[in-house]
Amino acid sequence: MNEKQILMIPGPTSIPQRVMNVLGNPAMGHRTDEFSAIIKDVTEKLKKIYRTENDLLLLSASGTGSMEAAVCNFVSPGDKVVVMENGYFSNRWANINRVFGAEVQVIEGAWGVPADPKALADVIAADKDKRVKAVFVTLNETSTGVTHDIPALRNACGDHPAIFVVDAISGMGVVPLETDAWKLDVVVSGSQKAFMLPPGLSFISVSPKAWALHKECKSPSFYFSLSAAKKEYDDKSSTPYTPAANLISGLQESLLMLEEEGLENVQARHRSYRSMIRAAVKALGLTPLADDAYASTAVTAVVKPEGLQVKKIVNTMKDKYNIVIVGGQGKSSEDIFRIGHLGYVTKSDILATVASLEMTLTELGYPCALGKGVAAVQEIMLKG
């Protein structure tokens, strides 16, 4: 039998049937009043999830496209920027900024621990002549399963004029984030994470402070021009170039689902998945990479048991049990495997994943007490 596959990766996540049905609907003209109404509706609903009154713009590109927009619309060649680097994706902030000619000061931290607000405060305090134009941080580092302390990092910048830019791609919706209350100037996220859609659509919010910097920006942008996007949205609830129309229609459905469940319940559900997966791996004698204090609710990175190969764990899970998990990224690719638990994940998915992991590890020569991880999950589920 061709069994259904369970995606337990940190995006793309599984897609609810309701959303799949919309994705499989006939094409729609994207320069019509009906489609403008959809764009307006999803934009307003996204603002509620972002917790913002700032402009919120849709970009027809996957998350990295929005990250590029967050650089090329604000950072000019020669500008100084600061990047908090604690993983594969926060490192991408540095790479994009370098491509656009910025002078990048990287505050490097170990992979698997949170970015250090004190280190950022020191750099900001040392910037007497206010040369730093922007600070780039990551809400949820997908490569390590760490959620960074955004309010503490933002506070470290005080009222320095630099804009504060957050990659919230894998965290938005599943981790609390307060764009306005925390004074976050630019926040990017993407369709294939908590929004339970295929990849190819991303979102970016822009504060008045960021718009002021945008006005001075000398970097080139056309497809990702945020002022072009704002103008079309403000004038016509539309987009300057052809949008990824079926993803936007699907987004309307998935936002409705998130609204029905309630954002707080969505986040509570993700916290419970985190507890279950972490309890299970600990019960099996394994070690999560990140400490409980800052563990992500979207993905758990697990330190690979001695003597086993990450690739074999991942392949066995997939080939024998139809469950897709993933190895590490960049310099940690061989050291950890990662179990995603964000988006459209069910209790059954969690139970099956843990049970299959027990069998996989046993088969590969890491003897587990079969059922022990599952029991740890069950105890949490029963408490409800």
Binding site for a second copy (CB under 8 A): 4-5, 7, 9, 11-15, 20-21, 23-32, 60-65, 67-68, 71-72, 95-96, 99-101, 190, 192, 198-201, 219-225, 241-247, 318, 324, 326
The conformation of residue 177, written as its DSSP 8-state character, comes to -
Q: Which is nearer to a second copy, 21 or 309 (CB)?
A: 21
Q: Measured between alpha carbons, how far apart are the two ends of the chain, in Å?
A: 34
Q: Which is nearer to a second copy, 99 or 370 (CB)?
A: 99
Alpha-carbon gap, residue 51 to 180, rounded angstroms: 6
Alpha-carbon gap, residue 228 to 168, rounded angstroms: 23
Beta-ladder partners of 85: 108
Structure tokens, 32? 């019509």
Structure tokens, 339? 């179990």
Alpha-carbon gap, residue 163 to 135, rounded angstroms: 6
Tell me the closest approach of the beta carbon of residue 253 to a second copy, in angstroms. Answer: 12
Neighbouring residues of 175: CB distance < 8 A, sequence distance ≥ 6: 139, 140, 147, 168, 267, 270, 296, 297, 298
Q: Which is nearer to a second copy, 101 or 305 (CB)?
A: 101
Alpha-carbon gap, residue 194 to 66, rounded angstroms: 16
Alpha-carbon gap, residue 306 to 201, rounded angstroms: 39
Q: Which is nearer to a second copy, 183 or 318 (CB)?
A: 318
Q: Which is nearer to a second copy, 55 or 68 (CB)?
A: 68
Q: Which is nearer to a second copy, 105 or 333 (CB)?
A: 333
Q: Which is nearer to a second copy, 336 or 374 (CB)?
A: 336
Q: Which is nearer to a second copy, 74 or 366 (CB)?
A: 74
Query: How many C-beta atoms surround the C-beta of residue 179 within 10 A?
Result: 24
Alpha-carbon gap, residue 243 to 228, rounded angstroms: 13
Q: Which is nearer to a second copy, 247 or 284 (CB)?
A: 247
Residues 375-381: contacts with CB within 8 Å, 24+ apart?
375/283, 376/276, 376/279, 376/280, 376/282, 376/283, 377/276, 377/277, 377/279, 377/280, 377/350, 377/351, 378/351, 379/279, 380/272, 380/275, 380/276, 380/279, 381/276, 381/347
Q: 223 by DSSP, 3-state: which?
A: coil
Alpha-carbon gap, residue 336 to 308, rounded angstroms: 11
Q: Which is nearer to a second copy, 11 or 373 (CB)?
A: 11
Alpha-carbon gap, residue 151 to 181, rounded angstroms: 9
